[in-house]
Structure 1
């Protein structure tokens, strides 16, 4: 069976979608299968192949409208995946870092002289940042499941993306703040042992990776009309 009309429709649809490549492929495969089944049915009514394909495509819906519906699904799925990563990875990363820091460096308060109160405030805030961001992501996941039946998926996708961006931003700000504060109070403490340097590098790689996921999540959500 020739599939010129169907091929053009599916290709056009695919160029409009952003999200998980696997999910995009699955949606496009389902679309093609549905169009080919509809074409087969119309061929049985006496239409030519081209006419049957065109009828199937017309019945399926305008590509822009279908792309918008699919994109909302992809955005929600991507947002859910990003929030899961935030809820799981952030606390694990923080616990691993804190264990290594206490073992190899010692408490932040353990300076030659007592650090100023503002430094201790930043240190405590940074300690809480990952836990708060993870908790917010977890709450967003639970509420998203509950509200999915009542609210438009487009709105939920944008909310999930915004929460992911905010959570990563809080963690990033906390890490930058404690580095700047430590450099101001005692720059020598920024020179770490090899194990802690590797741990710091891994921490930043994870934060950057989560940031890219959150940005991708926002990109997927904001192209939804």
Structure 2
């Protein structure tokens, strides 16, 4: 049985969706299977193949409406994935960094001179940023599950995307602030041992990766009408 009408519908639908490639592929496969089943049923009732496909597509719904529904689902899923990464990776990254600093550099009092209060304030704020961002991501995940049945998934997707992007932005600014503060205080302190240099590079790779996930999350959510 030919599937020209169904193929065009599924192709058009897929071109409108953003999100996890696997989830998009699964949604399109489910759509194609549903349309094929509906087409077969209509053929069994006496319609021609072309008429049966057109009827199946018509009953399934306009591409724009279905794409909007699917995109909301994809946005929520992508937002959930991003928030999970934030909730797990940020505290682990911070703990690994602090352990490395204590092991390879030592506590603040081991320096020749105790850093000034303003520097310690920035350092403490930077330390708290990862924990707060992780906690906010976790709370957003929990509230999202609680409110999923009461609120429109489109709104939840946009909220999740906004939280993810804000959390990553806060962590990014915190790390930039401590680097600039260290350079202002004593630029020589930026010259770290090889292990700490590698740890710093990994930290920034993780931050950039989380930022890309958050940006993708926002993109998935904002194309939802």
Whether TM-score is above 0.5 comes out as yes
Aligned to 1:25: 25
Query: 2:39, 2:56 within 8 Å by CA — same for their partners in 1?
Result: yes
1:173-197 CA-partner distances (Å, limit 9, x unpaired)? 1100000001111111100000000
Query: 1:126, 1:171 within 8 Å by CA — same for their partners in 2?
Result: yes
Instruction: Give, in whole Å, the separation in 2 of the partners of 1:92 and 1:21.
Output: 27
1:144-177 CA-partner distances (Å, limit 9, x unpaired)? 0000010000000000000000110111011000
Aligned to 2:177: 177
2:17 counterpart of 1:6: no
Aligned to 2:216: 216
Q: 1:211 to 1:7 in 2, by over 3 A?
A: same
* CA displacement at 1:110 relative to structure 2: 4.2
* CA displacement at 1:13 relative to structure 2: 0.1
Instruction: Give, in whole Å, the separation in 2 of the partners of 1:113 and 1:39.
Output: 79
Aligned to 2:44: 44
Aligned to 1:92: 92
* CA displacement at 1:106 relative to structure 2: 1.6
Q: 1:182 to 1:110 in 2, by over 3 A?
A: farther
Aligned to 2:135: 135
Which stretches in structure 1 are left out of the alignment for 5+ residues? none
Instruction: Give, in whole Å, the separation in 1 of the partners of 2:55 and 2:108.
Output: 70
Scaled by the length of structure 1, the TM-score of the pair is 0.98
1:21-64 CA-partner distances (Å, limit 9, x unpaired)? 00000000000000000000100111100000000000000000
Query: 2:91, 2:130 within 8 Å by CA — same for their partners in 1?
Result: yes
Query: 1:126, 1:178 within 8 Å by CA — same for their partners in 2?
Result: yes
**Secondary structure in 1 matching 2:107:** coil
* CA displacement at 1:104 relative to structure 2: 0.5
**Secondary structure in 1 matching 2:198:** helix
Instruction: Give, in whole Å, the separation in 1 of the partners of 2:126 and 2:108.
Output: 11
Query: 2:108, 2:114 within 8 Å by CA — same for their partners in 1?
Result: no
Which stretches in structure 2 are left out of the alignment for 5+ residues? none
- RMSD of aligned residue pairs (Cα, Å): 0.8
Q: How does 1:57-206 map to 2 (within 5 A)?
A: 57-108=57-108, 110-206=110-206
Instruction: Give, in whole Å, the separation in 2 of the partners of 1:140 and 1:84.
Output: 10
**Secondary structure in 1 matching 2:221:** helix
* CA displacement at 1:115 relative to structure 2: 2.2
Query: 1:108, 1:123 within 8 Å by CA — same for their partners in 2?
Result: no
Query: 1:109, 1:120 within 8 Å by CA — same for their partners in 2?
Result: no
* CA displacement at 1:117 relative to structure 2: 1.5
**Count of residue pairs the alignment pairs up:** 225
1:73-98 CA-partner distances (Å, limit 9, x unpaired)? 00000000000000000000000000
